[in-house]
Amino acid sequence: MPDPGAAGPSPASGPVRGAPQRLRGGVLGMADIAAATMANVGPAMSFFFGFAFLGTTAGIASPLTIVAAGVAVALLGNTLAEFSRAHPSAGSFITFVGKSFGPVSAVTTALLAGLGYIIGMAAVIAISGGFVQITLEHYTGVELPWIIWTLVLTGVAVGLMLRGVVVSTKWAGYFFGVEMLVLVVVSVAAIVEHHGSLSAVPFLPGHVSHGLSGLAAGFPLAVYLFIGWENSAALAEETENPRRNVGRAVFFSIAVMTVSYILFSYATVTGFDYDMAKLGAAGIPFIDIAQQTLGALAFVAYIGGLTSTLGVLIAGINSQARLVFNAGREGLLPAFFGYVHPIRRTPNNAIVTFTATALVIIGGWGLGHLLGSGGSMDPVVFFTEASSLGSILILLVYLASNIALPLYYRRYRPQEFRTVRHLVLPAIGVLAILVPLYYLAKPGQPAPYNWFPYAALAALLAAVAYATLLVRRDPGLADRVGSVVADAE
């Protein structure tokens, strides 16, 4: 049975009259979207603020946990690559789930993905200003409120995105290059300085704290380091030969990030002389390693953190807002989001609304802290809390996509169905997602983490209810899901 979405939409089927608005096609190469994907992962930002908790949870063998997470993310990458090869779309997961399960699932996924990514990006937006504040206080003693820097950096990032996808993607790539150079230099310097105490202990399963349970507990933290790996799929419409290049960018990015995180984590554990209690007590362990190793030149580590947050801001909003844009273009969300700038071909309404909503979430979260505890909101605490809640929603989208892959290929491309690629690997991917979901949702967690699973469940039920009503009101929605194929003429 042919894929009905492979032929473009009929003029009458879109959410607005006439042909749907399209982004500028074929202006990005594989290297561009791979760089944007790795910039979205933000290795410096993610590692700076995530590894202390991971090290405390998994122990000396935390680098081994990262290896396991890299394998799990590669399984998810297989799903994204196979879907993008068959049906490249700016809608990414929304399109893939919707084509497999129908319009109700598409609208539900659009709402969950949109909300999850906005909450996750709110964490990044907050920590961007927070890291500037940390840097200035360390070197100058200046204590300007972090929210000021957050607004400035966010304004710069949005300005670059509105200028066009080529300009913003190039800048995200430049920022990523700087942070990677810094991370590698500091890591190699730390390993060289501690060459006399190098050991294979961090890669031995017997040194994971509490054995298999410790590995499982640290696993979701390690997986979170990779969030953003799916960036390139949402850029499919603007990529040359997306059926080939999106998959290549996905696997290349995951491989580079896995090897890099192994290097950074090994250097950090070694730099702390395998003292995980001391590592866990450090505010930003990698910064401590840089100061210990490079002395006065440690400021380059701060530069790496700053460029990382900027890269994540640009690359993350760029790709994630395109999911919202495509949902608006196809009628899954209000048509307002489906607007494209007539000259730059950028989804301006989606970008601005996505960013503004994230800022509103930051403001609401801050107000809650002020009213609840009588103190100011710490951006580092907000980063941890918001990223945890956002991750639950995003993992649900990953889960649905892995379940959808074998059904999609069986229904639309049975002649291309391969048991390992389209059934076995996504099935293992489902199991890999269930582990972090369990640890993020399990009972007995401290507040506010204990109510996050209920908030996610409420969001899921509300999304299904809204999707059901929308599809009843608009039966033509089923024909529009995935109707705009990235490489269509």
**CA-CA-CA-CA torsion sign (123, 125, 127, 130):** negative
Structure tokens belonging to residue 318: 């760029």
Q: Residue holding tokens 């997306």? A: 242
**What's residue 378's pLDDT?**
87
- Say how far apart CA 417 and CA 419 lie, in whole Å: 7
Q: What is the DSSP string of 115-164?
A: HHHHHHHHHHHHHHHHHHHHHHHHHT-----HHHHHHHHHHHHHHHHHH-
Cβ-contact 39, 173 below 8 angstroms: yes
C-alpha separations of 10 from 2, 104, 254, 446, 478 in Å:
17, 21, 37, 52, 13
In the chain, the percentage of residues whose pLDDT exceeds 70 is 95
Counting every residue written for the chain, the total comes to: 489
- Mind listing the pLDDT tens digit for each residue in 198-224? 999 999 888 888 777 777 878 888 988
Residues 6+ apart with CB under 8 A from 278: 272
Write down the pLDDT at residue 488: 55
pLDDT for 454: 96
| Average pLDDT of the segment spanning 412-435 | 94
Residue 323 and residue 94 in contact, taking contact as beta carbons nearer than 8 Å: yes
pLDDT higher than 70, residue 1: no
pLDDT at position 376 is 63
Q: Is the pLDDT of residue 241 over 80?
A: yes
331-355 per-position pLDDT tens digit: 999 999 999 999 999 999 999 999 9
- Closest of 8, 5, 18, 22 to residue 325, by C-alpha: 22
CA separation (Å) from 13 to 154, 352, 478?
36, 26, 10
Write down the mean pLDDT value for the chain: 90
pLDDT on residue 9: 41
Question: Residue 221: its pLDDT value, please?
Answer: 84
DSSP secondary structure string, 439-465? HHH-TTPPTTGGGHHHHHHHHHHHHHH
The more confident residue out of 383 and 403 is 403
- Give pLDDT, residue 57: 87
CA–CA distance, 156 with 314 (Å, rounded to integer): 9
Q: Please list, in sequence order, all residues whose beta carbon lies within 8 angstroms of the beta carbon of residue 377, skipping any fewer than 6 positions away.
A: 365, 366, 369, 370
pLDDT digits (tens, 9 = 90+) for 100-132: 999 999 999 999 999 999 999 999 999 999 999
Question: Is the pLDDT confidence value at 19 over 80?
Answer: no
Q: Which residues contact 407 (CB under 8 A, 6 or more apart)?
A: 100, 101
pLDDT for 11: 34
Give the per-residue pLDDT at 482. 85
Report CA-CA distances (Å) from 317 to 228, 232, 323, 462: 11, 12, 10, 24
> Is residue 14 scored above 80 in pLDDT?
no
Task: Using the predicted structure, report yes or no on whether residue 2 has a pLDDT greater than 90.
Answer: no
pLDDT, tens only, 302-320: 999 999 999 999 999 999 9
How far apart, in Å, do the first and last CA atoms of the chain sit? 22
Give 353-393 pLDDT, tens digit per residue: 999 999 999 999 888 777 765 556 789 888 888 998 999 99
H/E stretch holding 312 reads: helix 299-329
pLDDT tens-place string over residues 75-89: 999 999 999 999 999
Residue 17 has pLDDT above 80, yes or no: no
**Three-state DSSP class for 67?**
helix
